[in-house]
Amino acid sequence: MYIPHTEADREAMLHTIGAEHLEDLFQDVPAAYRFPKLDLPPAITEMEVMMEMQRLANANESVSDLICFLGAGAYNHYIPAAVDAVLRRGEFLTAYTPYQPEISQGTLQAIFEYQSLIAGLTGMEVSNASHYDGATAVTEAVTMAYAHFRGKRTKMVLSPALHPHYRETAETYNHGTDVSIVKPDVDLKAGPDALLPWIDATTALVVVQYPDFFGRIYNYTSLAEAVHAAGALLAIAVNPLALGLLTPPGEFGADIVVGEGQPLGISLSFGGPYLGIFATRKDYVRKMAGRLVGETVDTRGQRAYVLTLTAREQHIRREKATSNICTNQGLMALASAVYMSLLGKNGLRQVAELCYHKAHYAANQIAALPGYSLWTETPFFHEFVIRCPIPVADINEHLLEHGILGGYDLGKDNPELENCMMIAVTEINSKEEIDLLVETLSEVYHD
Amino acid sequence: MKIPADLKYTKNDEWIRVEGNVGTVGITDFAQEQLSDIVYVEIVVEEGDNVSQGDSCATLESVKAAADVYLPVGGKIVAVNEGLAETPETVNSDPFGAAWMVKIELADSAELDGLLDAAGYEAHLATKA
Amino acid sequence: MTESLLCELSVPGRKGVLFPKSDVPKASLPANLTRQRLPLPEVSEVDVVRYFTRLSQLNYCIDKGMYPLGSCTMKYNPKINEETARLSGFANIHPLQPVETIQGCMVLMYELQEMLKEIGGFAGVTLQPAAGAQGELTGVLIIRAYHQSRNDLKRTKILIPDSAHGTNPATSAMSGLEVVQLPSDANGNVDLNELRTHCDDTLAGLMLTNPNTLGLFEENVLEVIRMVHEAGGLVYGDGANMNALLGIVRPGDLGIDVLHYNLHKTFSTPHGGGGPGSGPVGVAAMLVDFMPGPVVDIIEEGDDEIPPLFGFVMPEKSIGRVKSFWGHFGMMVRAYTYIRVHGPEGLRSVSEHAVLNANYLMAQMKKIYHLPYDRTCMHEFVVEGRWDDAPDIHALDIAKRMMDYNLHPPTNYFPLIVHEALMVEPTETESKQTLDAFIEVMEKIADEAHNNPEILKTAPHTTPVGRLDEVKAAKELVLCCGLEFPPRERLLPDKCST
């Protein structure tokens, strides 16, 4: 297994150390608590563990077994085989953080590619080497804005159409500090202009989402102008896959672009590990937390890559660091870099368009059903909200019986959206699957 | 290593040159040597700010370290060295001259009494070695 | 070695993957919101696979050799973990599916919570934190919330020994607590006299790394914890060093109130070149209600025929959520697999051999390198990378020279309390032969340091690249390859900047 020692090895090693038994090495541990008997299931072999894990996995119904129309922040996309083939290379998978650049050029150059691809996709000047996920990327934007204004502006306006997990995470991080996380009490159907009254001279940051939590897309150019006129920063949380088709937020004038990178070639895996995207303008680079790879040369004059601006990080700045972030999502950033390279300029556009067309087809078909209507009235990308004639939970139960994983029940966290279901459609969903969804929805109402 | 005789020093390796009621602040030769190649300077106060002794007025970064520069005295900031952000290497090459960071109008000149003179600073450095 | 970048490999018209044509009528694209330019490369699948494969070969990795990296626990990552995490019934589960369709995931999370509780001696475990640093933040937020819930608002001071991980002070500062550094005594333990002076009614807690970053078990651990508790403070345990403690002692039994685990250190999930990690947090009984959530619990009891139904539950006074969804589930599958193949005796054997390996290396290293704290160590130890009779040589030079012998260097310049520190943690997965080869290299390098120092100063010599110009990197800040795909001309580094 994984401990290679033989009895003879142990004896020889103990002899070198000058100890008689393994137990002798633990004299510093208080005797009363030393060597507790752990009440854990007994060891099993690799073969048995595989069987046990298969049994557990089979107790789930996966999106391969079901037809998935569920999104709300995690999306079912096709992942080309080459992505995992690269990820599984031990040289990437089992490497440490590239603090020793001479023997880590693979990881460093791959992150540099990731930074370049994200910068290009978002229309921003610099990207870091990633955060944990979309939610923590938002909270890092809050921290950065606070640091940018050196604590002189403390109000963070988070759009009510931002993913609730993102807002909740930012609230947890900032509870009890002088940062105030504000959720404007506006009509959920209102566009970004509704946020304007909430932005003033104490506002450090405004955060909106694109597409927003409900799937809608807005041109945020005038919002950016208003935010800048108030002297504040604008952060836009993106679905990066949508940027294959949509105007990049850099063109709106965003100061920070964050987002959940999962749609870019990362498996659903019941919610993680995912990828926190964080990009900004070059002027703000030193206020950005997280790892960053820069290009330089080595002693032999070769182009090479190295972690840079590390003096900002926790291990050097200690209590003065703006963030305690230490790990990044290195392997997930690699997955997305491979995915973006494979799809490239044409493929990413095609996938984004497929999502767009299929979602619009589904929305039109469902809107035509008796009892159903579209709650979403403005342009959307690949996710939309329908108002249903009966509770969403009942509909989803019926859909599940037909092998369909229905949409997100918005009424659960929002009484104003009772009986509203949010449906996500991706390139994976065929016309037949969409038609089956429509047919089953229509059955529910006639039942 | 240079320790000009006409300046006052802090134990944190800042210097101040007082002319009339205005002090000019920077970091010492010893400090720049400890930090090695400075790659970034950010002055974190603005002209007109009222500040206290011990407040941070700048942040310096080298490849391996970061340091805050603290004000040896309190008062009102009357000038900041804007150009330093463009030429951070000046902190290494001319710490007592071109790499001054801020000028401050002293609120209480008695605060100077608590600072070290050149001999005192030299003795202080000797205890660190 | 210079490998061309993707932007340099890109050729207009090349595709890496094809997707089917749309089988639905096309909708009109959104006016004003359709992008004109998409600066991504155009390369084939062959290009992509070869490019990333060539890049990968420039890396050192645990599959290639030993990583004696103190405080990082770079142990071998079992291959079976990668298989189980990729089972379709785990990898292809949407995080928001109805609980009836995900009972396999829920059982796994519930059981992992139970196992980590048992291993650490805690009453509750949350699996949500994404990494060690986030686990730490979670722990400190829990401590703060506990004091606040008791209306004990004066408690804002957190004590951190000078031998602690750098994340500790950064984390505490983020939570708005005042950080006070505690010195170590001559034996590398917390200085009890100094601790006593801080034990008052403003004490929120102490962050204790045990074994500490010198690799030493805190000899007065019970006394330290008792003093903090008597002053009304709580003790946070940094679990980065749990690899020394599995089946050896349970932090909860010692009185530690809250501790984070690093699944990517102790429980063998791969580091992936910097992440993802996973940082579950265990807490004592009075803190269970404050954990971030949701956590997994039984929501409908079962009976002889029907298994219980598991679901998500938010702890009553929860500090809130610390990330999207439920945590790094993929890492949980790997850690669960690892714990199952070890069982209780296997886990104890992990720590026993990790400590055996460290002491074996230390016993030999101290003949050639100065060992500032000469006691039995736990899973790691720290030597000085300098000699009085080789004045030009620094720890950095030794580290760089090790690469020429196909070794990853130890952690260097940490902990800060040792001059020119080299911090060595071999882990239990290295054999005696591997350790003997390591010693042999360290002897050779010590010899070179005295007789041929130049070869250390200019090392490494055999790696894909030599030492890098880090000043140039930090000053010029070339952080992406330039936004033109394909480039108008073959981009040279100085033209790549945006």
pLDDT tens track for C113-156: 999 999 999 999 999 999 999 999 999 999 999 999 999 999 99
In a domain, C206, yes or no: yes
Tell if the CB–CB gap between B65 and A316 is shorter than 8 Å.
Answer: yes
Domains in chain A, start-ordered, CATH in brackets? 67-78+344-446 (3.90.1150.10), 81-339 (3.40.640.10)
Contact C281, C157 (CB under 8 A): no
Tell if the CB–CB gap between A245 and C22 is shorter than 8 Å.
Answer: no
Return the amino acid letter for A325: I
Tell if the CB–CB gap between A295 and C493 is shorter than 8 Å.
Answer: yes
Nearest 5°: the CA angle C224, C242, A95 is: 140
Nearest 5°: the CA angle C52, C65, C425 is: 120
Least reliable range by pLDDT among A35-44, A325-334, B26-35, C96-105? A325-334
Tell me the nearest-neighbour CA distance from A203 into chain B, angstroms.
Answer: 20
Tell me the nearest-neighbour CA distance from B61 into chain C, angstroms.
Answer: 9
In a domain, C239, yes or no: yes
Q: What is the pLDDT of residues C37-92, one digit of tens each?
A: 999 999 999 999 999 999 999 999 999 999 999 989 999 999 999 999 999 999 99
- Helix and strand counts by DSSP (H, E) for chain A: 13, 15
Least reliable range by pLDDT among A348-362, A401-415, C130-144, C158-172? C158-172
* Coil, strand or helix at C474: helix
What is the predicted pLDDT for the residue at A193? 95
Q: What is the pLDDT of residues A354-376, one digit of tens each?
A: 999 999 999 999 999 999 999 99
Confidence label for A56 from pLDDT (cuts 50, 70 and 90)? very high
Least reliable range by pLDDT among A116-130, A194-208, A402-416, C161-175? C161-175
Please name the residue of chain C whose CA is at the shortest distance from the CA of residue B89: C475
Judged by a CB distance cut-off of 8 A, whether residue B44 touches chain A is yes
Torsion of CA A357, A358, A361, A365, to 10 degrees: -170
Partner chains of A (3+ C-beta pairs under 8 Å): B, C
In a domain, C169, yes or no: yes
Tell if the CB–CB gap between A361 and C254 is shorter than 8 Å.
Answer: no
| H or E element at residue A71 | none
Tell if the CB–CB gap between C248 and A35 is shorter than 8 Å.
Answer: yes
Judged by a CB distance cut-off of 8 A, whether residue C439 touches chain A is no
Please name the residue of chain A whose CA is at the shortest distance from the CA of residue B46: A150
pLDDT at C301 over 50: yes
Contact C380, C356 (CB under 8 A): no
Which residues lie below 8 Å from residue A28, measured CB to CB, with a gap of 6+? C216, C217, C218, C219, C375, C376, C378
Tell me the nearest-neighbour CA distance from B86 into chain A, angstroms.
Answer: 13
Judged by a CB distance cut-off of 8 A, whether residue C475 touches chain B is yes
Judged by a CB distance cut-off of 8 A, whether residue B37 touches chain A is no
Tell if the CB–CB gap between B40 and C471 is shorter than 8 Å.
Answer: no
Judging contacts by C-beta atoms under 8 Å, the chain C residues touching residue A127 are: 479-480
Partner residue facing A175 (CB), from C40, C320, C344? C320
Strand partners, A374: A386
* Coil, strand or helix at C403: helix
Q: How many residues does chain B have?
A: 129
Q: What is the pLDDT of residues C430-444, one digit of tens each?
A: 999 999 999 999 999
Q: What is the pLDDT of residues C11-20, one digit of tens each?
A: 999 999 999 9
Read out DSSP for C405-463? TT-PPPEES-STTSTTEEEE---TTS-HHHHHHHHHHHHHHHHHHHH-HHHHHT---SS
What is the predicted pLDDT for the residue at A380? 98
Chain B interface, mutation test: which of A152, A287, A310, most B Cβ atoms within 10 Å?
A: A310
Tell if the CB–CB gap between C474 and B88 is shorter than 8 Å.
Answer: no
Judging contacts by C-beta atoms under 8 Å, the chain B residues touching residue C414 are: none
In 3D space, the residue among A83, A235, A18 whose CA is nearest the CA of residue A144 turns out to be A235
Burial C90-118 (b: 16+ CB within 10 A, else e): bbbbbbbbbeebbbbbbbbbbbbbebbbb
Judging contacts by C-beta atoms under 8 Å, the chain B residues touching residue A317 are: 66
In a domain, C258, yes or no: yes
Contact A423, A407 (CB under 8 A): yes
pTM of the model: 0.94
Domain locations along chain B: 8-107
The C-alpha atoms of residue A131 and residue C324 are separated, in whole angstroms, by: 12
Percent of chain C with pLDDT over 90: 85
Instruction: Please report how many Cα atoms fall inside a 13 Å half-sphere around the Cα of residue A309, on the Cβ side.
Output: 24
In 3D space, the residue among A115, A72, A125 whose CA is nearest the CA of residue A333 turns out to be A115
Q: What is the pLDDT of residues C354-413, one digit of tens each?
A: 999 999 999 999 999 999 999 999 999 999 999 999 999 999 999 999 999 999 999 988
Q: Kindly report the backbone phi and psi dihedral angles of residue C109, in degrees, each rounded to the nearest multiple of 5, phi listed first.
A: -65, -40
Q: What is the pLDDT of residues C172-207, one digit of tens each?
A: 777 888 889 998 888 778 999 999 999 999 999 999
Partner residue facing C82 (CB), from A88, A127, A293? A88
Mean pLDDT of A78-90: 98
Mean pLDDT of C228-232: 97
Partner residue facing A343 (CB), from C17, C115, C470? C17
* Coil, strand or helix at A440: helix
Tell if the CB–CB gap between A312 and B65 is shorter than 8 Å.
Answer: no
Mean pLDDT of A79-91: 98
* Coil, strand or helix at C472: helix
pLDDT at C484 over 50: no
In 3D space, the residue among C87, C375, C314 whose CA is nearest the CA of residue A57 turns out to be C87
Partner residue facing C15 (CB), from A61, A165, A346? A346
Strand partners, C492: none
pLDDT at A120 over 90: yes
Tell me the nearest-neighbour CA distance from C471 into chain B, angstroms.
Answer: 6
Judging contacts by C-beta atoms under 8 Å, the chain C residues touching residue B63 are: 470-471, 474
pLDDT at C495 over 50: no
Percent of chain A with pLDDT over 90: 89
Judging contacts by C-beta atoms under 8 Å, the chain B residues touching residue A312 are: 61, 66
Burial of A211 (0-12, 13-18, 19+ CB in 10 A): buried
Please name the residue of chain B whose CA is at the shortest distance from the CA of residue C413: B64
Judging contacts by C-beta atoms under 8 Å, the chain C residues touching residue B39 are: 471, 474-475
Sheet holding B38-43, edge to edge: B38-43, B56-62, B66-70
What is the predicted pLDDT for the residue at C496? 34
Tell if the CB–CB gap between C474 and B39 is shorter than 8 Å.
Answer: yes
**What total of structural domains would you count in chain C?**
1
What is the predicted pLDDT for the residue at A135? 97
Please name the residue of chain B whose CA is at the shortest distance from the CA of residue C475: B39
Tell if the CB–CB gap between C474 and B63 is shorter than 8 Å.
Answer: yes
Q: Which domain holds residue C269?
A: 81-340
The C-alpha atoms of residue C258 and residue A12 are separated, in whole angstroms, by: 39
pLDDT at A326 over 50: yes
Tell if the CB–CB gap between B62 and A311 is shorter than 8 Å.
Answer: yes
Mean pLDDT of C287-307: 95
Partner residue facing A267 (CB), from C91, C144, C363? C91
Judged by a CB distance cut-off of 8 A, whether residue C99 touches chain A is no
In a domain, C383, yes or no: no
Please name the residue of chain A whose CA is at the shortest distance from the CA of residue B41: A286
Partner chains of C (3+ C-beta pairs under 8 Å): A, B
Q: Kindly report the backbone phi and psi dihedral angles of residue B113, in degrees, each rounded to the nearest multiple of 5, phi listed first.
A: -65, -30
Chain A interface, mutation test: which of B35, B43, B51, B59, most A Cβ atoms within 10 Å?
A: B59
In 3D space, the residue among B56, B43, B35 whose CA is nearest the CA of residue B85 turns out to be B43
Beta strands in C332-410 (DSSP E): 381-384
The C-alpha atoms of residue C95 and residue C327 are separated, in whole angstroms, by: 10
| Beta carbons within 10 angstroms of residue A351's beta carbon | 23
The C-alpha atoms of residue A444 and residue C490 are separated, in whole angstroms, by: 60
Beta strands in A82-150 (DSSP E): 126-127
The ipTM of this complex is 0.97
Write the CATH number for C177: 3.40.640.10
Tell me the nearest-neighbour CA distance from A58 into chain C, angstroms.
Answer: 6
Judged by a CB distance cut-off of 8 A, whether residue B85 touches chain A is no
pLDDT at A237 over 90: yes
What is the predicted pLDDT for the residue at A322? 63
The C-alpha atoms of residue A245 and residue A248 are separated, in whole angstroms, by: 9
Tell me the nearest-neighbour CA distance from C476 into chain B, angstroms.
Answer: 9
Percent of chain A with pLDDT over 70: 96
Judging contacts by C-beta atoms under 8 Å, the chain C residues touching residue A88 are: 82
Q: What is the pLDDT of residues B40-85, one digit of tens each?
A: 899 989 999 999 999 999 988 888 778 889 999 999 999 999 999 8
Please name the residue of chain B whose CA is at the shortest distance from the CA of residue A309: B63
ω into residue C12 within 30 of 0, thus cis? no
Tell if the CB–CB gap between C475 and B61 is shorter than 8 Å.
Answer: no
What is the predicted pLDDT for the residue at C211? 92
Judging contacts by C-beta atoms under 8 Å, the chain A residues touching residue C134 are: 132, 136
Confidence label for A321 from pLDDT (cuts 50, 70 and 90)? low
Q: How many residues does chain A have?
A: 447
Judging contacts by C-beta atoms under 8 Å, the chain A residues touching residue C3 are: 105, 109
Pick the CATH number of B8-107 from 3.30.460.10, 2.40.50.100, 1.50.10.100, 3.40.718.10: 2.40.50.100
pLDDT at A291 over 50: yes
The C-alpha atoms of residue C51 and residue A82 are separated, in whole angstroms, by: 12
Tell me the nearest-neighbour CA distance from C192 into chain A, angstroms.
Answer: 17
What is the predicted pLDDT for the residue at C344? 98
Tell me the nearest-neighbour CA distance from A26 into chain B, angstroms.
Answer: 37
What is the predicted pLDDT for the residue at A327? 65
Distance in Å from the first CA to the final CA of chain B: 13
In 3D space, the residue among A225, A223, A206, A224 whose CA is nearest the CA of residue A167 turns out to be A206
Which of A11-15, A185-189, B61-65, C471-475 is predicted most confidently? A11-15
What is the predicted pLDDT for the residue at C491? 37
